[in-house]
Structure 1
Amino acid sequence: MRGITYIQGDATAPQGKGVKIIAHVCNDLGGWGKGFVRAVSRRWPEPEAAYRRWHRDRAGNDFALGAVQFVQVGPYLWVANMVGQRGMRTGRSTGVPVRYEAIDTALGRVADRALELGASVHMPRIGCGLAGGKWSRIEPLITERLVGRGTAVTVYDREG
């Protein structure tokens, strides 16, 4: 079993061959506009549009913490919108929005899809930016849910 591969670069331009899934964390409020999602939207409009529809129509679908929406953006490329954040940070916030249990559940769903597609998974340090999470809590979830099931995972740290 290989571990997580860490590289400097842009997670919206995943390295390697074959089918790839770019996984990232979204909030449960339908908000899209800060953090990694801006890089996603600069490259493809579909993930944001799909996420906003998914949230808007949530009374009739599975939109909730731990849910994942897979949006195909190329012949061999998917974006996984993982709902792993309760709300957003504001100037009055006292806690962090990250929900580790939701990220854990979502990563299990990403692993299922990766195995189904024969895909590798690519991501920034999910849940650790605007969501306020700690990588020391997220990394073991990725190792257990993805790497432990044989899925290659690359984590991208932005250059500069």
Structure 2
Amino acid sequence: MSFFSHTVTPPYAFQFVYWNNQVASHVQVRGTVPLFWEQPGIQVGSHKIKLSRLPETSLPAFQRHFADILSRYGETVIINLLGSKEGEGQLSAAYHDHLKMSEFSGSIAYHHFDYHAKVTSQNFESLQAFLAKLEPQLHAWDFFHMNGSEVKRMQKGVV
């Protein structure tokens, strides 16, 4: 994350569907955790994560990051897919702690789902239960749909 609240990797994921004279799209915001952190070393399998700033010095950039997202896309839900163990667990906890300390603690929902721990090649039940919990919100937010030059639907939030 930069001081100006920009994450290191481009955070937006768009999906467009074109059919005849119609366009539909869905936007998700995804990227790195918006904190000042690093993963030193190049050793494969080494997942040591180091937070490079104290929470009180990283909180202003964290808040600018989410202020920007909320101003662009409206309602926002954080879905944290980081692991719960070791370095990822530390980063995940710091992410949640920053949200709780921020001015957005009551307006941005936060869900942690340790994908690799809960989903196996043979068992998707926990993923299905997690998605079912999110489904009402995702349906309420809708998606963008345009027929010719007429906008029929607008997406009202992002994950």
TM-score by length of 2: 0.40
Structure possessing the higher relative contact order (Cα contacts under 8 Å, 6 or more residues apart): 1
The higher radius of gyration belongs to 2
TM-score by length of 1: 0.40
